[in-house]
Structure 1
Amino acid sequence: MASPSSPVIPCIVFLVTFISAAMNSHVVGASKEFKVGDSEGWRQPPANQSALYSRWAAAIRFHVGDSLRFEYKNDSLLVVDKWGYYHCDTGKPISVFTDGDTVVSLDQPGFVYFISGQADHCLNGQHLAVKVIALRPIPRSPPSAANPPGLASAPSPFSSSAVSDSAAFVSISLALTASFMDLLWAP
């Protein structure tokens, strides 16, 4: 059997610290880069596809830390406010890009609006609004009079698969720790 003064104790402390850090890391997701429009890129959509970018964005959940890659030719990209988006106003952009390969970081939650620098392209559907969400756990609090038990509440921001993944990770980590301890303390 290992004695309490052996190097086993620091190993156990390290292992417990590692497992704790890994269990908390599931809240912070890996950032992703999305190519706007997929194979279509950033271009004026055909007449019968004016909702091209709206449909593309509706299929994706954008998180703080993600980025958008705009690939385009003979055009430009403007970051605008909500009014500029809905009115295809190229006169007061927040940012202007003309390099043909622009990566925009989504660094805060909320809506971000993009339009083509050519007003007629924007009017024909070359505009994009994305909703960026933050990944923060919502603290659980006891029910209040405003939200009594039994009434429907807002859904969790974490999918059930994320919870299942976390539970599986914890179970496996505990089993490995127990096996490791048995090996160290066995005669």
Structure 2
Amino acid sequence: MILFSGVSCDLYNGFWYVSALNIGPVYDNSLRCTRYLKSLESLVLLENGLTGELPQEMGSLVNLRRLVLGGNKLFGQIPSSFGGLKELLILDLSMNKLSGSLPWTLGNLTSLLKLDLSNNMLEKELPSTIGSLKNLTLMDLGRNNFSGGLVQSLQGMVSLKEMVMSNNPLLGGNLNGIQWQNLQNLEFLDLSNMGLTGNIPESMTELKRLRFLGLNNNNLSGSPSPRLASLPCISALYLYENDLAGKLEFSEGFYRKMGKRFGAWNNPNICYQAELMLSTSNQFHSLFVIGGDGGWVLPKSRNHEMYNQWASQNRFKVDDTVHFKYKKDSVLVVTAEEYDKCHSARPVFFSNNGATVFKLDKPGLFYFISGVAGHCERGQKMIIKVLEPETAPPLSSKENTTTVSSHKSGAVEMAAISSPISVLFMVSFFGLLFI
């Protein structure tokens, strides 16, 4: 393979073929020319200012394995010809202005691992063929205008680890038409602000790997099952802003474990142990948003110490967590030597899910860098110093409590959630994306 400024070429039978494109800003829709690139396997045009409609001709790129056109200004419908891209593994059309309904031909993409169509204006009913995507591990259809409820075929997506349908306020319907127990790999489920009605189905309590469940800002009714609190991996449960009723039969240990990662407020007819949650609030640790409102982004100025200056303004303790918010980037935890070189072939930790949460589990120094080529060198890196515990010798588990630190300069307390997609594409695909 030869790489010429974002264009990768492979030699086959004595001829050079373009196999991947990853180029800078293009302020016109030149996608129609891609029909001549029959051997193209990867097309990445992130945040290029592309306008216009997606051409039907792109459906002829039958060797495509990755199609990433997120963060542009594309509008119109998703062409039905995309159903011919049967080798596709990653399809990301997020953060555009796409509208209309999803083509039923998307169900032909049976090799697909990641589908991200979030932050568009897509509408109408979800096609039942979407349930044919049995290899899909991540599906984000959030922030659109879908309607007609969740289709039953979703229960056939048995490989799914992360499902985000939130902020589709017109979707409506209820949750009882889906056999949730079939989705045993599901770890992250966000169904908030969807206009859902009815009760929370008992089958959701069978999701043994579920870490995050967001059902807030709907019109759900009935009394939630006590078994929700017994899910072995649950670390965040949000039920607020619904019409739930009755008494929550959750254990004291559940409230102590969840803290502010459990929410059931603004359910007028529900009763739960709010006083117990308040009495244990002093046991919660802080979660800091890296960079404050700006998030984890490439510094716009030449201030290469921007993140270290931010870190120096905050006080980090053992078991505090740090939250990285970003788009089309990544977070690596590396050694001191790798931090200085701005490179790591085998990082201690890697995540590229856009909302990474990392727990500072020991005292000492933690070294963070961006995984995007050139970003670390230009200042997107940070060292966090975690203080030694103040009490010595250690107290017993019953006595050991930690007071939440005061909020300083962008440090806010939030729910500590770890999305399951952190490692999924680290080796296979996203490593290529940031070369």
Q: For this structure pair, what is the TM-score category when the shorter chain's length is used for normalisation? A: 0.5 to 0.7
What's the offset of the Cα at 1:136? 2.8
In structure 1, the gaps of 5 or more residues are 1-28, 140-187
What's the offset of the Cα at 1:126? 0.2
Q: Does 1:73 align with 2:73?
A: no
Q: CA RMSD in A?
A: 2.0
What's the offset of the Cα at 1:30? 4.1
User: Given the superposition, is the C-alpha separation of residues 37 and 62 from structure 1 closer, same or farther in structure 2, using an over 3 Å criterion?
Assistant: same
Q: Is the 8 A contact 2:302 2:378 kept in 1?
A: no
Q: Is the 8 A contact 1:31 1:66 kept in 2?
A: yes
Aligned to 1:31: 285
What's the offset of the Cα at 1:61? 1.1
Other structure's SS at 1:68 match: strand
Q: 2-side partners of 1:95 and 1:38: how far apart?
A: 22
Aligned to 1:128: 382
Q: Does 1:62 align with 2:316?
A: yes
TM-score with structure 2 setting the length: 0.25
Higher Cα radius of gyration? 1
Deviation string 1:39-90 (CA, Å, 9 cap, x unpaired) is 1100110133322101100101100010000001011111111111111013
Q: Is the 8 A contact 1:35 1:69 kept in 2?
A: yes
Q: Does 1:49 align with 2:334?
A: no
Q: 2-side partners of 1:110 and 1:116: how far apart?
A: 20
1:1-187 pair list within 5 angstroms: 30-137=284-391
Deviation string 1:13-48 (CA, Å, 9 cap, x unpaired) is xxxxxxxxxxxxxxxx74100000001100110133
Deviation string 1:80-109 (CA, Å, 9 cap, x unpaired) is 111111110132211110100000001100
What's the offset of the Cα at 1:134? 2.5
Which is richer in strand?
A: 2
Other structure's SS at 2:347 match: coil
Give the AA of the match of 1:36. I
Residues paired across the two proteins, number: 113
Other structure's SS at 1:55 match: helix
Q: 1-side partners of 2:391 and 2:318: how far apart?
A: 14
Q: Is the 8 A contact 2:322 2:359 kept in 1?
A: yes
Other structure's SS at 1:47 match: coil
Q: Is the 8 A contact 1:90 1:118 kept in 2?
A: no
Give the AA of the match of 1:89. H
Give the AA of the match of 2:346. K
Q: 2-side partners of 1:90 and 1:138: how far apart?
A: 36
Q: Is the 8 A contact 1:33 1:67 kept in 2?
A: yes
What's the offset of the Cα at 1:137? 2.8
Give the AA of the match of 2:374. D
Q: 2-side partners of 1:32 and 1:65: how far apart?
A: 8
Q: 1-side partners of 2:347 and 2:340: how far apart?
A: 13
Q: Percent identity?
A: 39
Which is richer in helix?
A: 1
Other structure's SS at 1:62 match: coil
